Amino acid sequence: MFISTALADGIKSAVKSDSALSEYFMSQFENLTPWKIVIGLVMGLIVGLIIAFVYKRCYRGVLYSPTFAMTLMMLTLITTPVVMCIKSNISLSMGMVGALSIVRFRTAVKDPMDTAYMFWALTMGILLGAELYVHAVAVVLGIGVILMLMTFVRFRNPDSYLLVVHYDDYAEQDITQLLRRTVRQRKLRSKTVTRSGAEMTVEVRLDSKQDLVSAVLNIEGVHDATLVACQVEAGT
């Protein structure tokens, strides 16, 4: 009789514990409604599009990557619901921190600005996940305007190119004089001399309107000239 009573009390305690635990988890997620998730994702899409647009307009590398622009949008969209869940559930937030601590980003980032854009997208996702929509819009517009001004007003320089010229030895002096007259910023990168002629590679900074290749080809002794766009880091 005593054993039956103890067993019944244990079952009742377990049921009460399960009920209390269920009520606890329900209370944690009662503020996270589907409409809030939809609104957060829509705002994340809009903000992600703004970030991708600014990245495309301000990109000054050799090859623009649409995939990376799409990645910036996805970072904003993914971070938003994650932060919403973390904000709504304390226990889930602790587990999420432990899970994310083992994630390692191993893709090499060649341009330091790409890292800044990734942190920008993550920051926007955190703000949207915290339902700070007005703050998120103000931040994304403010940073976007600053980046556009920095790119097109203060730090815009002539584009960098590599001029590759194949010529006979006697034409080198004429090529050098032409570059001195027409190009203000230039730097010799390589020079190869063979029995059949010579090859010179010069880094030049040009405006888009300059037709340097035609001018070089008009020099007697020049076989061909190629102008290739390149990306040069500051200080090199």
pLDDT at 153: 66
Structural domain count, the chain: 2
Report whether 65 contacts 78 (CB < 8 A).
no
% of the chain beyond a pLDDT of 90: 19
- Across the chain, mean pLDDT equals 77
Please give the model's pTM, rounded to 2 decimal places. 0.60
- Of the three residues 154, 180, 215, the one that is the final residue of a domain is 154
Average pLDDT over every residue of 158-182: 86
Q: Helix, strand, or coil here: 78? A: helix
Cα 123 to Cα 1, 4, 104, 183, distances in angstroms:
63, 58, 18, 43
95 & 192 share domain: no
E strands present in the chain = 159-167, 186-194, 197-206, 222-229
* Containing structural domain, residue 77: 31-154
94-129 residue pLDDT tens: 555 555 555 555 666 667 788 889 899 989 998 998
pLDDT at 53: 93
Can you name the residues that pair with 198 across neighbouring β-strands? 167, 193
166 & 79 share domain: no
pLDDT at 144: 93
148 & 185 share domain: no
143 & 63 share domain: yes
pLDDT at 30 over 70: no
3-22 residue pLDDT tens: 455 444 554 554 455 555 45
